[in-house]
Structure 1
């Protein structure tokens, strides 16, 4: 969620200059041209337009260029507006048309052109220097293309230019100082390029400029003092470069400025705190990529103080000075400028985080604008207490004061800020109790108060925070019990961390309400009682740490429902009994610590227990067995003397009994063989399943009864080699099963049956369809019969949900469900390729072969085309036998190399998985009728990636 919000807000930030432009430039209504052309049009313009069209090699999905033909006068072509007696082209506007090609130099021949807007297309190449001949040009918009090269210096010849928008391209080189001679320029937008060099000091010549945006480049040097000469400047965004030095005092002369971002444009970091649990991913997987500095581009490196006169910018809405700077370093009164900000009565965002500000927290903070919604001062050296009167900031939604030297209590007035969504105070020296009225902040999403000196109990009023997604109160001195009201918050999804406190009592059974919780850390407390069985209801749990407490009793069997759990630490408790076998069947489990308890019996040897480095069982002196690397004693049976004597007799009798038994078995086998030969195919044998020990035997007649005679009413699907029926078996394997009956008249059906049996023989994974048995028999007519019996999936296939008929017409998959399903399928394929007994290639990955159980967990099925790769061949090379087998897949999902005779490989499955992902998130089949002339779903997505992905997403 944090990443989605980060990208969303970054887009909003990049759009802010456009919003301003609409009100200051276009909103004036000046120079609107729409006159009809006269009869005697100028042929030069027509030829220039045709030359421009010739450079467009593809695109135009809306057909705008279809009107560019000889049947219409060029002034009537789509996107072209003419004016004047002889009909000269005044505007050329073709934004957001997905046009592919390069910009023709002939555009420079449209000498009467006033507006050229080709933004949001796919143009490559360079900006033609010939555009510098357009002396009447007022707007040049080439934003959001893939243009490279340098900015032509001769654009300075376009003396009438008001708008120069070259943002979001791949431009290199310096900002030409020549363009600072454009005295009428109002908007200069160069964001998101690869520009280097310095901001030209002559920028002060742009006396009409209102918007200057050159952030997210690689500009160096200082902010020129001359920038303060642009008296009408309202929007200044030069963040995410490599600028350095002090903030020039001349900025305080920009009395019209309402947006100032000169440090790191940390909207990503700011809004990542809505999912602050990402910070805790370091525990398992290292630093989360969304928090890595390189993701935000370059950083500016400012030093010194913030000019005290900044308060003269009375219209300021946004002040961002945050991001790995050294502002305020060594200055005891480095925060003195905040007093002057009281004059900025419209201020909505104030961010000085990640600097070196020192000194006392100013009391004047509470007197800032009542419209302030974001107050960010984290990661500094600020002392003192949170000021009383903070409740005056009634619009506050984000308050971040983390990683400072703050002391004192959390003022109760914080609870009056009912619009607060993020409250981050961790890493200070705060003491006292958590305010009891904190439950008044009903919109709270993130609460981080960890690493302080807080004491007392956890307020039960937190149960009123129905939007709370993440709470971290670890490393304090909290005592008392865990309130059940907190554990009833089903909204808690990112994490609940209460570790390293002095909490007592049992873990309330209400913990089972946290069905969406990812992380639960209760370690290093004084909790007691049994581990509640309801903990197994937290089925999204991936991280569980209850170490360093006094939990007793056995490990509950209900934890076997935690199918996605990757980390379990129950060490240093008082748990007793045996280690449950099911822990070895949790496929996602990578770390298990059960050390220093009172566990006994044999250590399992499956799953995570096979890797001695992934488990810890030290301090349990009654354990035995396990894998050899654990070096535990063997599990011997200690018998009485009577039992020993009995064993002595048995040692004499057993050899004799074995000989007699062997003779009896041999005789029975000979007699059975005689009967089989005599009766031939008229006998109906039981099936021999492809699975391991103690298989369930089943006959054709049982399957016939289970499906009401293979009734069409029980038919739930059909594939290449057979049909699938729903059935209810008499044997105790579950209420309902899915029975795949092979159509043996179809060529390749026997091979498909054998391949599926071989593939499923030794694989087990929670995201693979579970097989119960198979049947290789004859029907009453003496014909061969082959069937496979699988676990029934009540929610059908992914195909039915992506392309619903009547069954799912009333509901579509949410984005969260699609992400979950995509992850499940990826886990299954990863297991087949890298963690099964041999590398298995599925060869037919598509939505109809992804089945969904009652809780929408995905299971990959249909291994009729699967290929098992030999161990020595590796994961990317097919065995010799595969070369002689014709690969059968499904058109649209089969990788191109298969069609050219390439070998079966795991890479082929990865390609099919990529197509599956595109289908899941676009809602389009790879064989959709909209793809013509050889176009594919992959190419369809590539054209819009990444800027215009929203255009193809399933609504």
Structure 2
């Protein structure tokens, strides 16, 4: 297809297909796009496109704000002419075979918010001109052959939130300027850095993931890490840190993953780690001493590793450490009086256990006469943070905007934890009624399941990095959009989508099935109140799914006298009261 004839083309999405035949000229079709002077978004990522990075891309529309070429088979160097694309806010070339250096002229793209070059074979240094990226929030350079030192000019990028520098050949020290970003969420830098980490960094309140493993850092672990109260993942393994675990770490109650292995740490293992909700703890190959705790994560041998700490003792049986000397002496010195005391206590405990057993047996028999109650369904979904949703939607980029409603906007995105394509509905809490809409949708959807309801995956109730309340719902993404766009095409979506009669009939049946379920089959009947084409979404197979329960109410809460006051959209009367 000659895309050059589409002179009014604004967005072109070809990502996630199998485009390309591997003959080295798969990218030639992009040359035609130079005629598309209005092009704003170009996404051809996740295909099999093979060939040299096309010089012609430098002549595409200056209106281009989103360019994604990642996960293909491009090779060659990045052309210097890319500096002409001054409107870019996102530039992604990850996981290709690009070589050569990063052109200095890239620094002229001062509107960039995301720069993703990871997983290539780029060499040389990071251009000092990167300091011009005053709006940059994600810098991904991991997995290349970049070398020399990190330019201190990166300290000018005050909005950086995600920094990925791992698996290169960087040397020297991490500039202290990188530790001055108040919005920094994630820093990963596994290279050949040495000396020590900065002794002071008091602004990293949002930091969640800090990974500087397998470097050559020395000195003590900086105590300021204990002030990063949002930390969930902390990896300092494979360095030359010495001394004890800082007392300030007792404040890191949100830690899920802590790896301090392969250092020269010493002292006792802090007891406060027992109270943390750690999913993984690795303290191996250090010089810790004293009694190994038994509670919390220490009680699960599969989640903790303390190998090669020869001065440790105690712990659970699976740890296979010798008993501590104080414990052994206590065992040898048990007196007859103590034995009698323990025997009496044992008898009392047995009596109490028998009493509890008969009480429970009585309650169970009594409960059998009561009607069986359906147990509540446990929430099977992992909570997502504001940071994860920000990352999934490329910073809530306008390129990922798929819809605007009364109380918020909907973005498409990809959850990085498992690659799931999702729709993220972000509520505008400044708008009156938005919070009530969020609560109504949560209450309506938490206990209902139906094939023709949009599947809710999880929700997020948190604060953003400015301290404002943030609420969002995460749904399964519907690739074919809403019924509204299939019935009433507008503007640039004027691609004729004719629904066949059978499709229209099936959609009507799908919607009717949902209404029957909500009205008659739910444990508590639900009234949607805002059923309209824009709230009916279509999946890959054109199966209809009803969405947007922001105005929904339980029928038990509605009296006949106030039915006339029920809300909805102008032009659509709620089927429940028609």
TM-score normalised by structure 2 residue count: 0.61
Per the TM alignment, residue 910 of structure 1 is displaced from its structure 2 partner at its CA by 7.4
Q: Secondary structure at the match of 1:505?
A: coil
Corresponding position of 2:318: 629
| Aligned match for 1:426, one of 90, 106, 118 | 118
| Distance change (3 Å), C-alpha of 1:513 and 1:883 | farther
The CA deviation string for residues 786-829 of structure 1, in whole angstroms up to 9 with x for no partner, is: xxxxxxxxxxxxxxxxxxxxxxxxxxxxxxxxxxxxxxxxxxxx
**Larger deviation: 944-953 or 533-542?**
944-953
Q: Which residue of the partner structure matches residue 922 of structure 1?
A: 439
Q: Match of 1:518?
A: 208
The equivalent residue for 2:376 is 907
Residue in 1 aligned with 2:458?
A: none
SS where residue 413 of structure 1 aligns? Answer: helix
- Which residue of the partner structure matches residue 582 of structure 1? 272
Describe the superposition over 1:201-235 as per-residue Cα deviations: whole angstroms up to 9, x where unpaired: xxxxxxxxxxxxxxxxxxxxxxxxxxxxxxxxxxx
SS at match of 2:77: coil
Shift of 1:315: 2.6
What SS does structure 2 have at the residue aligned with 1:406?
A: strand
Following superposition, the deviation at residue 395 of structure 1 comes to 0.7
Closer, same or farther: CA 569–924 of 1 in aligned 2, 3 Å = closer
Give the whole-Å Cα distance in 2 for the aligned partners of 1:905 and 1:581.
41
Q: Is the CA contact 1:507–1:532 (under 8 Å) kept in the aligned structure 2?
A: yes
How many angstroms does 1:940 deviate by?
A: 5.3
> Which residue in 1 is equivalent to 2:227?
537
C-alpha separation in 1, matches of 2:14 and 2:442? 47
> Helix, strand or coil: the match of 1:526?
coil
Quickly say closer, same or farther: Cα 1:907–1:313, change in 2 above 3 A. closer
Distance in 2, Cα, partners of 1:514 & 1:526: 23
Q: Which segments of 5 or more consecutive residues in structure 2 lack a partner in the other structure?
A: 342-352, 381-434, 444-518, 536-545, 554-578
Give the aligned partner of residue 363 of structure 2.
881
String of CA shifts for 1:335-386, please: whole Å, max 9, x gaps: 2233332222222122221222222112222111111111111111111111
The correspondence of residues 258-657 of structure 1 with structure 2, limited to 5 A, is 310-325=3-18, 327-493=19-185, 495-499=186-190, 501-586=191-276, 588-636=277-325
RMSD over aligned CA atoms reads: 3.9
In structure 2, the CA distance between the partners of 1:941 and 1:531, relative to structure 1 (3 Å rule), is farther
Would you say the 8 A contact 1:469–1:491 is kept in 2? Answer: yes
Change (3 A) 1:655 1:489: closer
CA contact (8 A) 2:526 2:552 kept: no
Query: Does the residue aligned with 1:513 lie in a helix, a strand or coil?
Result: coil
Cα deviation digits, residues 510-563 of structure 1 (max 9, x gap): 444222222111111111111112211111111111110111110112212111
Work out whether residues 124 and 145 of structure 2, in 8 Å CA contact, stay in contact via their aligned partners in 1: yes
2:514 paired residue number? none
TM-aligned CA distance change 1:910 to 1:357, over 3 Å: closer
RCO higher in structure (CA 8 A, sep ≥6): 2
**1:467: Cα distance to partner?**
2.5
Aligned residues: 394
Displacement, 1:922?
2.3
Matched with 1:228 is: none
For residues 634 and 448 of structure 1, the distance between their equivalents in structure 2, rounded to whole angstroms, comes to 48
The 3 A distance-change label for structure 1 pair 938 and 479 is farther
Distance 2:272 2:167 in 1: 33
Shift in Å, 1:389: 2.0
Distance 1:497 1:908, change over 3 A: closer
Q: Are the aligned partners of 2:181 and 2:204 in contact in 1 as well (CA < 8 Å)?
A: yes
Does the 8 Å CA contact 1:344/1:369 hold for their aligned counterparts? yes
Q: Using the alignment, how far apart are the partners of 2:262 and 2:303 within structure 1?
A: 17
The structure with the larger Rg is 1
Deviation at 1:470, TM superposition (A): 1.3
